[in-house]
A and B are shown apart, each in its own frame.
Chain A
Amino acid sequence: MDKGLSLQDVTIMKGSTPLLSVSHDIASGEVLTVMGPSGVGKSTLLAFVTGTLAADFTATGRVLLDGHDITDAAPHQRRVGILFQDDLLFPHLSVGANLAFGLLAGGTAAARHDKVQEALREVGLEGFANRDPATLSGGQKARIALMRMLLSEPCALLLDEPFSRLDATLRAQVREMVFDRAKARGLPVLMVTHDAEDAQAAGGMIITLGG
Protein backbone atom coordinates (compact mmCIF):
# COMPACT_ATOMS: atom_id res chain seq x y z
CA MET A 1 0.00 0.00 0.00
CA ASP A 2 1.22 3.49 -0.66
CA LYS A 3 1.32 6.51 1.58
CA GLY A 4 -1.46 7.46 3.93
CA LEU A 5 -3.21 6.38 7.07
CA SER A 6 -5.48 3.41 6.75
CA LEU A 7 -8.00 2.31 9.37
CA GLN A 8 -9.08 -1.23 8.55
CA ASP A 9 -12.30 -2.36 10.22
CA VAL A 10 -11.44 -0.56 13.43
CA THR A 11 -14.01 -1.22 16.14
CA ILE A 12 -13.65 0.25 19.61
CA MET A 13 -15.45 -1.45 22.45
CA LYS A 14 -15.98 -0.53 26.05
CA GLY A 15 -16.33 -3.84 27.83
CA SER A 16 -18.53 -5.72 25.39
CA THR A 17 -20.48 -2.68 24.12
CA PRO A 18 -19.24 -1.51 20.73
CA LEU A 19 -18.70 2.25 20.66
CA LEU A 20 -17.82 2.92 17.06
CA SER A 21 -16.59 1.30 13.89
CA VAL A 22 -14.53 3.01 11.23
CA SER A 23 -12.99 1.63 8.09
CA HIS A 24 -11.40 4.22 5.90
CA ASP A 25 -8.23 5.08 4.00
CA ILE A 26 -6.90 8.61 4.37
CA ALA A 27 -4.54 9.48 1.56
CA SER A 28 -1.62 11.88 1.90
CA GLY A 29 -2.78 15.45 2.30
CA GLU A 30 -6.39 14.44 2.86
CA VAL A 31 -8.56 14.97 5.88
CA LEU A 32 -11.05 12.60 7.47
CA THR A 33 -13.32 14.19 10.05
CA VAL A 34 -15.13 12.10 12.62
CA MET A 35 -18.03 14.02 14.09
CA GLY A 36 -20.33 13.27 16.94
CA PRO A 37 -21.39 14.45 20.37
CA SER A 38 -19.02 13.98 23.26
CA GLY A 39 -19.00 10.54 24.79
CA VAL A 40 -19.29 8.48 21.61
CA GLY A 41 -15.64 7.51 21.73
CA LYS A 42 -14.11 9.90 19.22
CA SER A 43 -11.04 10.58 21.32
CA THR A 44 -10.77 6.88 22.08
CA LEU A 45 -10.36 6.29 18.35
CA LEU A 46 -7.38 8.64 18.36
CA ALA A 47 -6.00 6.91 21.46
CA PHE A 48 -6.15 3.65 19.52
CA VAL A 49 -4.17 5.18 16.66
CA THR A 50 -1.54 6.66 19.01
CA GLY A 51 -1.32 3.41 20.94
CA THR A 52 -2.45 4.88 24.25
CA LEU A 53 -5.83 3.22 24.59
CA ALA A 54 -7.04 3.15 28.20
CA ALA A 55 -7.28 -0.27 29.83
CA ASP A 56 -11.08 -0.38 29.96
CA PHE A 57 -11.40 -0.20 26.18
CA THR A 58 -10.66 -2.90 23.67
CA ALA A 59 -10.24 -2.47 19.95
CA THR A 60 -10.10 -4.70 16.92
CA GLY A 61 -8.95 -3.92 13.42
CA ARG A 62 -5.65 -2.74 12.02
CA VAL A 63 -4.03 0.65 11.60
CA LEU A 64 -1.64 1.01 8.66
CA LEU A 65 0.60 4.02 8.24
CA ASP A 66 2.42 4.36 4.91
CA GLY A 67 1.97 0.64 4.40
CA HIS A 68 3.36 -0.39 7.80
CA ASP A 69 1.09 -2.05 10.31
CA ILE A 70 1.46 0.06 13.45
CA THR A 71 -1.41 -1.51 15.40
CA ASP A 72 0.92 -3.16 17.90
CA ALA A 73 3.85 -0.73 17.72
CA ALA A 74 4.97 1.15 20.81
CA PRO A 75 3.47 4.67 21.00
CA HIS A 76 6.85 6.38 20.59
CA GLN A 77 7.69 4.42 17.45
CA ARG A 78 4.53 5.18 15.52
CA ARG A 79 5.45 8.54 13.96
CA VAL A 80 1.95 9.86 14.57
CA GLY A 81 1.62 13.48 15.66
CA ILE A 82 -1.32 14.60 17.77
CA LEU A 83 -2.78 17.96 18.79
CA PHE A 84 -5.29 18.31 21.61
CA GLN A 85 -7.68 21.14 22.36
CA ASP A 86 -5.18 22.40 24.94
CA ASP A 87 -1.75 23.33 23.65
CA LEU A 88 -0.09 21.13 26.32
CA LEU A 89 3.31 22.75 25.97
CA PHE A 90 5.69 21.28 28.52
CA PRO A 91 5.60 23.89 31.28
CA HIS A 92 9.10 23.13 32.57
CA LEU A 93 10.80 23.75 29.22
CA SER A 94 11.41 26.97 27.34
CA VAL A 95 9.63 27.52 24.03
CA GLY A 96 12.79 26.52 22.18
CA ALA A 97 13.28 23.37 24.27
CA ASN A 98 9.64 22.47 23.67
CA LEU A 99 10.24 22.66 19.93
CA ALA A 100 13.49 20.71 20.21
CA PHE A 101 11.85 17.95 22.27
CA GLY A 102 10.44 16.18 19.25
CA LEU A 103 13.45 16.57 16.95
CA LEU A 104 14.71 13.23 15.74
CA ALA A 105 17.88 12.07 17.44
CA GLY A 106 21.15 12.92 15.74
CA GLY A 107 22.51 16.00 14.08
CA THR A 108 24.84 18.53 15.61
CA ALA A 109 23.68 20.96 18.27
CA ALA A 110 23.98 23.76 15.73
CA ALA A 111 21.80 21.96 13.20
CA ARG A 112 19.15 21.33 15.84
CA HIS A 113 19.30 24.94 16.93
CA ASP A 114 18.83 26.04 13.33
CA LYS A 115 15.79 23.81 12.92
CA VAL A 116 14.19 25.34 16.01
CA GLN A 117 14.95 28.87 14.79
CA GLU A 118 13.54 28.10 11.39
CA ALA A 119 10.36 26.71 12.93
CA LEU A 120 9.96 29.85 15.03
CA ARG A 121 10.46 32.01 11.95
CA GLU A 122 7.91 30.00 10.01
CA VAL A 123 5.18 30.96 12.48
CA GLY A 124 6.41 34.52 13.00
CA LEU A 125 7.76 34.05 16.51
CA GLU A 126 11.47 34.81 16.06
CA GLY A 127 13.28 35.45 19.32
CA PHE A 128 10.79 33.47 21.40
CA ALA A 129 13.16 30.53 21.97
CA ASN A 130 13.98 31.42 25.57
CA ARG A 131 10.49 32.45 26.58
CA ASP A 132 8.45 30.69 29.23
CA PRO A 133 5.52 29.00 27.44
CA ALA A 134 3.15 30.23 30.18
CA THR A 135 3.74 33.83 29.06
CA LEU A 136 2.53 33.23 25.50
CA SER A 137 -0.91 34.13 24.22
CA GLY A 138 -3.37 31.45 23.19
CA GLY A 139 -2.65 31.82 19.49
CA GLN A 140 1.11 31.80 20.03
CA LYS A 141 0.86 28.63 22.13
CA ALA A 142 -1.22 26.96 19.44
CA ARG A 143 1.39 27.84 16.83
CA ILE A 144 4.24 26.50 18.97
CA ALA A 145 2.31 23.30 19.69
CA LEU A 146 1.78 22.83 15.95
CA MET A 147 5.43 23.43 15.10
CA ARG A 148 6.61 21.17 17.93
CA MET A 149 4.54 18.39 16.49
CA LEU A 150 5.69 19.02 12.91
CA LEU A 151 9.37 19.12 13.94
CA SER A 152 9.09 15.50 15.05
CA GLU A 153 8.42 14.73 11.36
CA PRO A 154 5.27 12.64 11.86
CA CYS A 155 3.80 10.60 9.02
CA ALA A 156 0.21 11.34 10.04
CA LEU A 157 -1.58 14.01 12.00
CA LEU A 158 -4.35 13.48 14.54
CA LEU A 159 -6.47 16.38 15.78
CA ASP A 160 -8.58 16.04 18.93
CA GLU A 161 -10.95 19.03 18.87
CA PRO A 162 -7.89 21.17 18.37
CA PHE A 163 -9.62 24.51 17.87
CA SER A 164 -12.42 24.43 20.41
CA ARG A 165 -10.52 26.47 23.01
CA LEU A 166 -9.67 29.32 20.66
CA ASP A 167 -11.88 32.37 20.10
CA ALA A 168 -13.63 32.88 16.76
CA THR A 169 -11.07 35.00 14.90
CA LEU A 170 -8.08 33.05 16.13
CA ARG A 171 -9.87 29.84 15.40
CA ALA A 172 -10.15 30.35 11.66
CA GLN A 173 -6.55 31.53 11.52
CA VAL A 174 -5.07 28.59 13.44
CA ARG A 175 -7.29 26.13 11.59
CA GLU A 176 -6.12 27.40 8.24
CA MET A 177 -2.51 27.24 9.40
CA VAL A 178 -2.81 23.65 10.62
CA PHE A 179 -4.49 22.38 7.45
CA ASP A 180 -2.09 24.31 5.21
CA ARG A 181 0.95 22.83 6.93
CA ALA A 182 -0.51 19.34 6.84
CA LYS A 183 -1.28 19.66 3.16
CA ALA A 184 2.14 21.13 2.36
CA ARG A 185 3.82 18.16 4.03
CA GLY A 186 1.40 15.67 2.50
CA LEU A 187 0.21 14.36 5.87
CA PRO A 188 -2.97 12.35 6.21
CA VAL A 189 -5.13 14.05 8.84
CA LEU A 190 -7.66 12.41 11.13
CA MET A 191 -9.71 14.96 13.04
CA VAL A 192 -12.38 14.38 15.64
CA THR A 193 -14.68 17.24 16.57
CA HIS A 194 -18.22 18.07 17.57
CA ASP A 195 -18.07 21.37 15.74
CA ALA A 196 -19.71 21.45 12.30
CA GLU A 197 -17.77 24.54 11.25
CA ASP A 198 -14.42 22.83 11.86
CA ALA A 199 -15.63 19.80 9.96
CA GLN A 200 -16.66 21.94 6.97
CA ALA A 201 -13.41 23.89 6.99
CA ALA A 202 -11.39 20.69 6.94
CA GLY A 203 -12.78 20.05 3.48
CA GLY A 204 -12.47 16.29 3.61
CA MET A 205 -14.84 13.44 4.11
CA ILE A 206 -16.99 13.55 7.22
CA ILE A 207 -18.15 10.55 9.20
CA THR A 208 -20.93 11.34 11.65
CA LEU A 209 -21.41 9.10 14.63
CA GLY A 210 -24.70 8.83 16.45
CA GLY A 211 -25.01 9.82 20.08
Chain B
Amino acid sequence: MLNIGADVGRVPVMMAHLVFVLPYVFLSLADPFRAWDGRMGVIASALGASPNGVLWRVRLPMLLRPVLTALAVGLAVSVGQYLPTLLIGGGRVATLTTEAVALASGGDRRAIGVYGLMQTGAALIPFALALLIPALAWRNRRGLLHG
Protein backbone atom coordinates (compact mmCIF):
# COMPACT_ATOMS: atom_id res chain seq x y z
CA MET B 1 0.00 0.00 0.00
CA LEU B 2 2.81 2.38 0.90
CA ASN B 3 4.64 1.52 -2.29
CA ILE B 4 1.78 2.66 -4.48
CA GLY B 5 1.43 5.88 -2.54
CA ALA B 6 -1.78 4.84 -0.83
CA ASP B 7 -0.52 5.56 2.65
CA VAL B 8 -3.21 7.72 4.19
CA GLY B 9 -6.81 8.68 3.72
CA ARG B 10 -10.16 7.06 3.15
CA VAL B 11 -9.39 5.13 -0.02
CA PRO B 12 -6.78 2.83 1.55
CA VAL B 13 -9.10 2.26 4.51
CA MET B 14 -11.94 1.32 2.15
CA MET B 15 -9.67 -1.08 0.31
CA ALA B 16 -8.59 -2.65 3.60
CA HIS B 17 -12.25 -3.07 4.58
CA LEU B 18 -13.00 -4.75 1.26
CA VAL B 19 -10.40 -7.40 2.02
CA PHE B 20 -12.48 -8.45 5.01
CA VAL B 21 -15.91 -7.72 3.55
CA LEU B 22 -15.69 -9.44 0.17
CA PRO B 23 -15.30 -13.03 1.43
CA TYR B 24 -18.42 -12.67 3.57
CA VAL B 25 -20.40 -11.11 0.72
CA PHE B 26 -19.19 -13.82 -1.62
CA LEU B 27 -20.08 -16.60 0.81
CA SER B 28 -23.57 -15.29 1.49
CA LEU B 29 -24.41 -14.63 -2.15
CA ALA B 30 -22.73 -17.62 -3.82
CA ASP B 31 -25.35 -20.24 -2.92
CA PRO B 32 -28.49 -18.34 -3.94
CA PHE B 33 -26.72 -17.09 -7.06
CA ARG B 34 -25.87 -20.63 -8.13
CA ALA B 35 -29.20 -22.11 -7.04
CA TRP B 36 -31.00 -19.88 -9.55
CA ASP B 37 -32.72 -21.98 -12.22
CA GLY B 38 -30.52 -21.74 -15.32
CA ARG B 39 -33.49 -22.48 -17.57
CA MET B 40 -34.73 -18.98 -16.78
CA GLY B 41 -31.58 -17.75 -18.48
CA VAL B 42 -32.14 -20.05 -21.46
CA ILE B 43 -35.70 -18.74 -21.83
CA ALA B 44 -34.57 -15.13 -21.52
CA SER B 45 -31.83 -15.54 -24.14
CA ALA B 46 -34.24 -17.37 -26.43
CA LEU B 47 -36.49 -14.32 -26.05
CA GLY B 48 -33.63 -12.17 -27.29
CA ALA B 49 -32.08 -10.90 -24.04
CA SER B 50 -28.31 -10.41 -24.17
CA PRO B 51 -26.15 -11.94 -21.39
CA ASN B 52 -26.11 -8.52 -19.66
CA GLY B 53 -29.86 -8.27 -20.10
CA VAL B 54 -30.35 -11.69 -18.53
CA LEU B 55 -28.25 -10.63 -15.52
CA TRP B 56 -29.87 -7.23 -14.95
CA ARG B 57 -33.42 -7.87 -16.09
CA VAL B 58 -33.94 -11.40 -14.79
CA ARG B 59 -31.27 -12.83 -12.52
CA LEU B 60 -30.55 -9.92 -10.17
CA PRO B 61 -34.20 -8.85 -9.76
CA MET B 62 -35.12 -12.43 -8.92
CA LEU B 63 -32.25 -12.49 -6.43
CA LEU B 64 -33.10 -9.10 -4.91
CA ARG B 65 -33.45 -10.49 -1.41
CA PRO B 66 -30.15 -12.43 -1.28
CA VAL B 67 -28.33 -9.53 -2.96
CA LEU B 68 -29.57 -7.06 -0.34
CA THR B 69 -28.83 -9.52 2.47
CA ALA B 70 -25.28 -9.99 1.18
CA LEU B 71 -24.93 -6.20 1.04
CA ALA B 72 -26.13 -5.94 4.64
CA VAL B 73 -23.67 -8.63 5.75
CA GLY B 74 -20.89 -6.71 4.02
CA LEU B 75 -21.86 -3.46 5.72
CA ALA B 76 -22.07 -5.17 9.10
CA VAL B 77 -18.58 -6.64 8.64
CA SER B 78 -17.28 -3.22 7.66
CA VAL B 79 -18.86 -1.61 10.72
CA GLY B 80 -17.06 -4.17 12.87
CA GLN B 81 -13.57 -3.34 11.58
CA TYR B 82 -11.54 -1.57 14.24
CA LEU B 83 -7.89 -2.57 13.96
CA PRO B 84 -7.67 -2.49 10.14
CA THR B 85 -9.20 1.00 10.15
CA LEU B 86 -6.77 2.17 12.80
CA LEU B 87 -3.69 0.59 11.26
CA ILE B 88 -4.32 1.38 7.59
CA GLY B 89 -5.78 4.78 8.34
CA GLY B 90 -2.80 5.63 10.49
CA GLY B 91 -5.16 6.67 13.23
CA ARG B 92 -6.27 9.65 11.13
CA VAL B 93 -9.41 8.16 9.60
CA ALA B 94 -12.25 8.33 12.08
CA THR B 95 -15.13 5.89 11.77
CA LEU B 96 -18.03 5.27 14.12
CA THR B 97 -16.16 2.23 15.39
CA THR B 98 -12.82 3.90 16.10
CA GLU B 99 -14.62 6.73 17.86
CA ALA B 100 -16.76 4.34 19.87
CA VAL B 101 -13.74 2.38 21.03
CA ALA B 102 -11.88 5.57 21.87
CA LEU B 103 -14.85 6.86 23.85
CA ALA B 104 -15.30 3.54 25.62
CA SER B 105 -12.13 4.11 27.59
CA GLY B 106 -13.35 7.55 28.67
CA GLY B 107 -15.96 8.38 31.22
CA ASP B 108 -18.64 10.05 29.12
CA ARG B 109 -21.43 7.51 29.38
CA ARG B 110 -23.90 9.48 27.35
CA ALA B 111 -21.53 9.84 24.41
CA ILE B 112 -20.68 6.15 24.69
CA GLY B 113 -24.37 5.33 24.60
CA VAL B 114 -24.98 7.48 21.53
CA TYR B 115 -22.07 5.93 19.65
CA GLY B 116 -23.11 2.45 20.67
CA LEU B 117 -26.60 3.04 19.33
CA MET B 118 -25.29 4.56 16.12
CA GLN B 119 -23.05 1.55 15.60
CA THR B 120 -25.98 -0.75 16.21
CA GLY B 121 -28.03 1.21 13.70
CA ALA B 122 -25.28 1.10 11.09
CA ALA B 123 -25.36 -2.69 11.23
CA LEU B 124 -29.07 -3.14 11.87
CA ILE B 125 -30.64 -0.77 9.35
CA PRO B 126 -29.19 -2.50 6.25
CA PHE B 127 -30.59 -5.80 7.49
CA ALA B 128 -33.97 -4.19 8.12
CA LEU B 129 -33.93 -2.78 4.59
CA ALA B 130 -32.94 -6.17 3.20
CA LEU B 131 -36.15 -7.52 4.71
CA LEU B 132 -38.31 -4.52 3.93
CA ILE B 133 -37.40 -3.67 0.33
CA PRO B 134 -38.15 -7.11 -1.18
CA ALA B 135 -41.33 -7.35 0.88
CA LEU B 136 -42.49 -4.02 -0.57
CA ALA B 137 -41.18 -4.49 -4.10
CA TRP B 138 -42.61 -8.01 -4.39
CA ARG B 139 -45.79 -7.48 -2.34
CA ASN B 140 -47.76 -8.52 -5.39
CA ARG B 141 -45.38 -11.30 -6.49
CA ARG B 142 -46.19 -14.45 -4.57
CA GLY B 143 -43.55 -16.46 -6.39
CA LEU B 144 -40.77 -14.39 -4.81
CA LEU B 145 -42.09 -13.66 -1.32
CA HIS B 146 -41.26 -17.00 0.24
CA GLY B 147 -38.52 -18.16 -2.06
Contact = CB atoms under 8 A, between A and B. Distances in A.
Nearest to B42: A52
B43 A134 contact: no
A50 B39 CA distance: 11
Most buried by B among A51, A79, A88, A133: A88
Nearest to B140: A132
Contact of B47 (A51, A84, A149): A149
A101 interface: yes
Contacts of B46: 50, 75-76, 78, 80-82, 149, 152, 154
The B interface is mostly helix, strand or loop, or mixed, namely helix
B62 A90 contact: yes
Interface residues on A, range: 20 to 34
Nearest to A52: B42
B128 to A, nearest CB: 22
Interface stretch (B14-22, B48-56, B70-78, B107-115): B48-56
A50 B64 CA distance: 27
B61 interface: yes
Given A80-B46, A149-B47, A88 B61 contact: no
A3 interface: no
A75 B142 CA distance: 30
B102 to A, nearest CB: 45
B139 to A, nearest CB: 10
B47 A102 contact: yes
A91 interface: yes
A76 B143 contact: no
A169 interface: no
Contacts, number: 78
A82 B42 contact: yes
A132 to B, nearest CB: 5
A88 B45 contact: no
Contacts of B147: 91
Interface of A: 47, 50-52, 74-82, 84, 86, 88, 90-92, 101-102, 104, 132-135, 148-149, 152, 154
29 contacts: A52-B38, A52-B41, A75-B42, A75-B45, A76-B45, A76-B46, A76-B49, A76-B51, A77-B48, A78-B46, A84-B39, A84-B42, A88-B40, A88-B43, A90-B58, A90-B62, A91-B144, A92-B62, A92-B143, A101-B47, A101-B49, A102-B48, A132-B143, A134-B143, A135-B142, A149-B46, A152-B47, A152-B48, A154-B46
Given A75-B46, A76-B51, A135-B142, 6 more contacts: A75-B42, A77-B48, A90-B40, A91-B144, A92-B62, A149-B46
Ranked nearest first, the 4 interchain pairs of A and B with the lowest CB-CB distance are A91-B143, A102-B47, A134-B143, A134-B142
